[in-house]
Amino acid sequence: MLKNDRWIVARAAEGMLEPFQPDLVRQLPSGGPDAGLGVLSFGCSSYGYDLRLSPREFLIFRHVPGTVMNPKRFNPANLEPAPLHRDEDGAFFILPAHSYGLGVALERLRVPPTITVICLGKSTYARLGIIVNTTPAEASWEGHLTLEFSNSSGADCRIYAGEGICQLLFFEGDPCDTTYSDRAGKYQDQPERVTMARL
């Protein structure tokens, strides 16, 4: 069953999402340095939660002639950090045309033991050709999700930090015999930094 906003708010009060935004934010509130700034929505929606992209790190795969990417021997030298820019529209990274990048969620997620979370892209970015890889977070997974982005368009694209980047959907199932935490999954407890591919 897909869980609703009431369930998400109740679980967040128990520590499922930190920091947690109980309402969907489309404009920054008054009182801050960016008061009134329109943002890509983040926070709790009817049947999901829109995560924010952390400003801490965004890495872009670069072309290294003669290099073949190998998930069994991941080479972080194929990644280069993207600088964080800022102007009147907000803080952003630039994902070049026809490239692939890695970012990390600002919120820390603690998945309950009978829940699996699916992470989907936001339609605003999809309309620009930005594809967010569909990422699952299994029962009892904890940490900051590493997020994967593909720019399928022929133009460079801004990816805004501190604003909505993807939506989480929470699905409840029958209790499983072994959770992600029980089997000490290799991506458990990720920090607010990009986590590289692991074997």
Q: CA–CA separation, 158 vs 145, rounded Å? A: 20
Burial of 33 (0-12, 13-18, 19+ CB in 10 A): exposed
Instruction: Give the position of tokens 């605003």.
Output: 124
DSSP state of 54: P
Q: Which residue type sits at 40?
A: L
Q: CA–CA separation, 15 vs 195, rounded Å? A: 22
Beta bridge partner(s), residue 119: 135, 168
Active site residue 148: yes
Q: CA–CA separation, 27 vs 77, rounded Å? A: 38
Q: Which one is catalytic: 148, 163, 172, 192?
A: 148
List, by residue number, the catalytic residues.
Answer: 148
